[in-house]
Chain A
Amino acid sequence: MSTKVVDRTPLTFYERSYLPAILSGLKVTARHFLRSAKGHNTATDLSQGYYPEVPWTVAEGYRGAPYLVRDQEGHTKCVSCQLCEFICPPKAIKITPPGPEGIPSDRANAEKMPREFEINMLRCIFCGMCQEVCPEEAIFLQKDYSLTGTSREEMIYNKEKLLSLGGTHAGIQKWKHKLESAQHQEVFPVKTH
């Protein structure tokens, strides 16, 4: 027996008449009303200005719009693996892979890069799954939260736009290190008997 029955104290007639609840409710709402009306409420304090004129400071770790990033040498980090496209819950990401005869990656050792990378910002829910799943650290949720456009087409951001908005990422350069280690292996003195 893990259930414990707790006896409720029956409500008095006064309590059942709803009156005490109504009176205390009126008191609480009146207090909030008067505080706001007097301007003592920090939430309704107008002295610092308001959002569209005075934008708020975006906190560190805020999950805004996802953009593609370049590495320190200006190469596209994305290798068109399409993991983000598959995981994207609202199906906002659409990647066109280069195909067998497509353009190779713009950096050494990486096999490929996307021919086109589109994020439909009208669908995107800023969940961060793409960033979570990316093995290349190529896509990051950044600090933009207020994206506007005059048409649906305008809200579909292509690769060029995403890269230019994303900027440079100072993280690891996986393929550069791979290349270095491969080159290192070639010059490594291997004993031959």
Chain B
Amino acid sequence: MDFIRYLDPTVQFMLFSAVKIVLVFAVAMTGVAYAVLVERKVSAWIQDRVGPNRAAPFFVHYLPVVGPFLTKLGIFQPMADGLKFILKEDFTPSYVRKIYFWIAPAISCVPALMTLAVIPFGSTLGNANNPMVIADLNVGILYTFGIVSLGVYGIVLAGYASNSKYPFLGGIRSSAQMISYEIAMGMSVVSVFLVVGDLNLSKVVAYQSGGIHEWLIFKQPLAFFIFLVSAFAETNRLPFDLPESETELVGGYHTEYSSMKFALFFLGEYAAMIGASAMMVTLFLGGWTPIWGGAPASSLLVGLSHIVWFLAKLGFFMVLFIWVRWMLPRFRYDQLMNLGWRRFIPLALVNIIITAGLIALTHK
């Protein structure tokens, strides 16, 4: 690997970035696949069912104890799921608007993955010039909000292009819901950035380094709470899954979709969950910093441990997302709007004013 040192810095940067992009993408995709498994298994256990416990490729037969145990946990289920999505018939109804129908899944999936680009998922690996973030933007949070709000287009387009009543209702609901909660979400993070004084997410993490007491969740609990609830709404998860609402809208915006196009919506939803969890970890739970200390990594091993810390915190939020889904019923539409506009937005505004006042009083 010596030849890397003699390369042009620009080439080096491009090479490292490409490697990071591929790795983050791979981890995110695997995360999506296994989030689906966790979702199914957790829901099964919560509802006193068994969950996936059968899928097993041929080689499991030769593993004595580990094989059956892993099969029972459903570890091989995501492979079977993926294969099923690829092999299923991709059916396009005759009455849809074809172009929009085809691009809608991509539009809902791509923004969810793009938000991961600005998330610092580790300190450094190897040397100090190799930060574990794909794009260390100075306007990281603005980029995230800009990209996340594009996600609603995919759902609205899917609802419109399907040319059918249930997807249409789902699309309408999602546009109202996502736009409303984006405001609450955006306002809740304003107070965070008032405290930190920088929009760069790496700086936000650096501000929180030094141990668990430095984390912004303890300095801005209200902002965290509003952000958490808004994240549920933004990712269309229960109790805010009105765009989907299986019980009343069949499948909501993806009713008419099948096979890989449906899988893209599915993937987009879980990628959005990962993105939202990553944002919460970065903004409120100190990103990659361990619960003690938090200086940038001095060695490869420490660098890897920081990534593990990040993934562990991410996993915590993913489990929370899944757990809450199987516990809360769906909000009624008016309750949803009431909560967003008349509770969270004023609360976030009050939080901003109080934070700004405190900073003005204490700042020299």
User: Which residues of chain B come closer than 8 Å to A44, judged between CB atoms?
Assistant: 44-45, 48-50
Q: Give, as a whole number of angstroms, the nearest-CB distance from A99 to chain B.
A: 46
Q: Give, as a whole number of angstroms, the nearest-CB distance from B296 to chain A.
A: 36
Besides A44-B44, A46-B50, 11 new A-B residue pairs in contact (Cβ under 8 A), listed by A number: A22-B324, A26-B323, A26-B324, A28-B327, A32-B48, A33-B46, A35-B48, A36-B46, A36-B49, A43-B49, A44-B45
Known: A29-B323, A29-B327, A44-B50. A36 touches B72 (CB 8 A): no
Contact between B48 and A41 (Cβ–Cβ < 8 Å)? yes
B19-59 CB contacts (< 8 Å) to partner A: 42, 44-50, 53
Cα-based distance from A150 to B61 in the complex (angstroms): 29
Known: A25-B327, A26-B327, A29-B323. A43 touches B45 (CB 8 A): no
A59: Cβ under 8 A from any B Cβ: no
Mind listing 30 A-B residue pairs with CB under 8 Å? A22-B324, A22-B327, A22-B328, A25-B328, A26-B323, A26-B324, A26-B327, A28-B327, A29-B323, A29-B326, A30-B323, A32-B45, A32-B46, A32-B47, A33-B42, A33-B45, A33-B323, A35-B48, A36-B45, A36-B46, A36-B48, A36-B49, A37-B45, A43-B50, A44-B44, A44-B48, A44-B49, A46-B50, A46-B72, A50-B50
Cα-based distance from A90 to B47 in the complex (angstroms): 33
User: Which residues of chain B come closer than 8 Å to A50, judged between CB atoms?
Assistant: 50
Interface string of B255-266 (1 = CB under 8 A from A): 000000000000
User: Which residues of chain A come closer than 8 Å to B49, judged between CB atoms?
Assistant: 36, 43-44
Interface string of A16-34 (1 = CB under 8 A from B): 0000001001101110110
B272-302 CB contacts (< 8 Å) to partner A: none
* Chain A residues within 8 Å of B, Cβ to Cβ: 22, 25-26, 28-30, 32-33, 35-37, 41, 43-44, 46, 50
* Chain B residues within 8 Å of A, Cβ to Cβ: 42, 44-50, 53, 72, 323-324, 326-328
Q: Give, as a whole number of angstroms, the nearest-CB distance from A53 to chain B.
A: 11
Q: Give, as a whole number of angstroms, the nearest-CB distance from B310 to chain A.
A: 25
Number of A-B contacts (CB under 8 A): 42
Cα-based distance from A44 to B50 in the complex (angstroms): 5
Cα-based distance from A35 to B53 in the complex (angstroms): 17
Which residue on B lies nearest to A44, using beta carbons?
Answer: B50
Cα-based distance from A142 to B167 in the complex (angstroms): 43
Q: Give, as a whole number of angstroms, the nearest-CB distance from B280 to chain A.
A: 17
Cα-based distance from A64 to B42 in the complex (angstroms): 33
Cα-based distance from A25 to B326 in the complex (angstroms): 9
User: Which residues of chain B come closer than 8 Å to A29, judged between CB atoms?
Assistant: 46, 323, 326-327
Cα-based distance from A118 to B137 in the complex (angstroms): 72
Specify which of A28, A29, A37 lies most central, judged by the most chain B CB atoms within 10 Å of its CB. A29
Q: Give, as a whole number of angstroms, the nearest-CB distance from B226 to chain A.
A: 13
Cα-based distance from A26 to B328 in the complex (angstroms): 9
User: Which residues of chain A come closer than 8 Å to B48, judged between CB atoms?
Assistant: 32, 35-36, 41, 43-44
Going nearest first, the 5 A-B pairs with the smallest beta carbon separation are A36-B45, A25-B327, A43-B48, A29-B327, A29-B46
Which residue on A lies nearest to B335, using beta carbons?
Answer: A18
User: Which residues of chain A come closer than 8 Å to B53, judged between CB atoms?
Assistant: 46
Cα-based distance from A29 to B42 in the complex (angstroms): 10
Q: Give, as a whole number of angstroms, the nearest-CB distance from B167 to chain A.
A: 29
Cα-based distance from A182 to B343 in the complex (angstroms): 87
Contact between B44 and A36 (Cβ–Cβ < 8 Å)? yes
Cα-based distance from A43 to B44 in the complex (angstroms): 11
Specify which of A26, A30, A33, A43 lies most central, judged by the most chain B CB atoms within 10 Å of its CB. A33
Cα-based distance from A36 to B47 in the complex (angstroms): 9
Q: Give, as a whole number of angstroms, the nearest-CB distance from B78 to chain A.
A: 19
Which residue on B lies nearest to A27, using beta carbons?
Answer: B327
Q: Give, as a whole number of angstroms, the nearest-CB distance from B79 to chain A.
A: 21
Which residue on A lies nearest to B50, using beta carbons?
Answer: A44
Q: Give, as a whole number of angstroms, the nearest-CB distance from A185 to chain B.
A: 65
Which residue on B lies nearest to A32, using beta carbons?
Answer: B46
Q: Give, as a whole number of angstroms, the nearest-CB distance from B282 to chain A.
A: 25
Q: Give, as a whole number of angstroms, the nearest-CB distance from A49 to chain B.
A: 12
User: Which residues of chain B come closer than 8 Å to A41, judged between CB atoms?
Assistant: 48
Q: Give, as a whole number of angstroms, the nearest-CB distance from A46 to chain B.
A: 7
User: Which residues of chain A come closer than 8 Å to B50, judged between CB atoms?
Assistant: 43-44, 46, 50
Q: Give, as a whole number of angstroms, the nearest-CB distance from B30 to chain A.
A: 23
Which residue on B lies nearest to A24, using beta carbons?
Answer: B327
User: Which residues of chain B come closer than 8 Å to A32, judged between CB atoms?
Assistant: 45-48
Which residue on B lies nearest to A43, using beta carbons?
Answer: B48
Q: Give, as a whole number of angstroms, the nearest-CB distance from B316 to chain A.
A: 14
Cα-based distance from A8 to B47 in the complex (angstroms): 32
Cα-based distance from A44 to B48 in the complex (angstroms): 7
